[in-house]
Amino acid sequence: MVLSGEIVGKAASIYDKGFATLTQSYGPEARGGSCTAEVVISDEPISYPYVVNPEVVIILAQEAYHKYANNLSEGTLVIIDPDLVKPDPSHKPKSLSVPVTHMAREMGRPVVANIIMLGFLAAVSDLVSEGALKKSIMSSVPEGTQEFNLKAFEVGRKYGMEHGRTARQGTPG
């Protein structure tokens, strides 16, 4: 998730010519533990680097869902992986589901789940442009993996175009 935050921040600030801050935290585990990445994006310089009222929240762990999903505004777009998170149907706002973990396994590389999620994000929101995200991915992933990562991005984008229509119309569900 931290790499995803870095990619989104770089896309917004370098390729879309806006401003962005990234704050991140890790659990005590070396890999596979809890972590968060918060990106603030603006057209103007940012004076407070922490997210106060998020437009989009991506949640890939049940524990994170319980921690973060309770106090979101109704206009927040919540995106989850249904294989990892079981949403509470009474929560507002409703969430969009995208099985990124399953999709990444089908591609043969579970590590690209975050890139698939970025493709989905590009399809269902206007947080950053698709072109900026692609450029940011190309400059952020290991040498020799760029084309595969762009393929993963496209898998997520196509899924978002097919299954995320309600979010693009302003009514997450």
Q: What is the pLDDT of residue 32?
A: 57
- Is residue 173 assigned to a domain? no
Helix (H, G, I), strand (E, B) or coil at 50: coil
Q: Is pLDDT above 80 for 171?
A: no
Residue 173 has a pLDDT of 38
Range of the domain at 31: 2-168
114-160 pLDDT, tens per residue?
999 999 999 999 999 999 999 999 999 999 999 999 999 999 999 99
Task: Say if residue 92's pLDDT is above 80.
Answer: no
**pLDDT, tens digit, 9 for 90 and up, residues 43-59:** 999 999 999 999 999 99
pTM, two decimal places: 0.89
Q: What are 2-17's pLDDT values in tens digits?
A: 899 999 999 999 999 9
pLDDT at 167: 43
Domain containing residue 152: CATH number: 3.40.920.10
Is there a domain that residue 86 lies in? yes
In angstroms, rounded to a whole number, what is the distance separating the alpha carbons of residues 140 and 27?
23
Number of folded domains in the chain? 1
Q: Which residue has the higher pLDDT, 85 or 173?
A: 85
Q: Which residues neighbour 169 within 8 Å (Cβ) at sequence distance 6 or greater?
A: none
Residue 129 CB partners (closer than 8 Å, separation 6+): 11, 15, 16, 122
